[in-house]
Amino acid sequence: MDNFEHKLYTHSNPTQVKHKTAFIEWLFKQYDVSVGSHILDMGCGPGNMLSELSGLGYKVTGYEPYQPYFEAAKQLENTDIEIIKGGFLDIKEIDTYGAIIAINGPYSYLQSINERKRAIEMSYKALKEGGVLFLDNPNFPWILNHYREPIGDEISCRWH
């Protein structure tokens, strides 16, 4: 049975990827992450953002713990894109990345406060001096205020 995340990735359209890329590019400019910097895409999924970021002139490493997504992302590997099987707690690099992006909730998969603390520590060590961690988290109060019960055989909840 497919899960919600799989459906999102399968049905993500090129326009959404372009919008995410444009937003990330804007963030990089705001925080002086220069073109050519090494970027870590944590929880890269099947790699939708990897080629986009590489195409903008960044060296990109994607970490992905989920085997099917890892295998899909691995097919994108080249001299500017590296794929590593793992998540936050598997980061080994030190003083490597100009930025780490963790979008679409990979941080929220960490279950304990100790795991979350360790993930931030490992991310900090992996960043070069002046590097930036872009970490998104769901807005839980908004979700609670906009939640509605699934209809029929819907797998996921939707917000209105």
Please determine, for residue 102, whether its predicted confidence score (pLDDT) is greater than 80: yes
Domains of the chain: 34-77+90-159 (3.40.50.150)
- Altogether, the residues listed in the chain come to a count of 160
* Residue 55 pLDDT level (bands cut at 50, 70, 90): very high
| pTM, two decimal places | 0.78
Q: Are 42 and 102 in contact (CB under 8 A)?
A: yes
- What is the pLDDT at residue 3? 47
Highest mean pLDDT (candidates 11-20, 76-85, 146-155): 76-85
Please give the pLDDT value at position 111: 78
Per-residue pLDDT, averaged over 91-109, amounts to 89
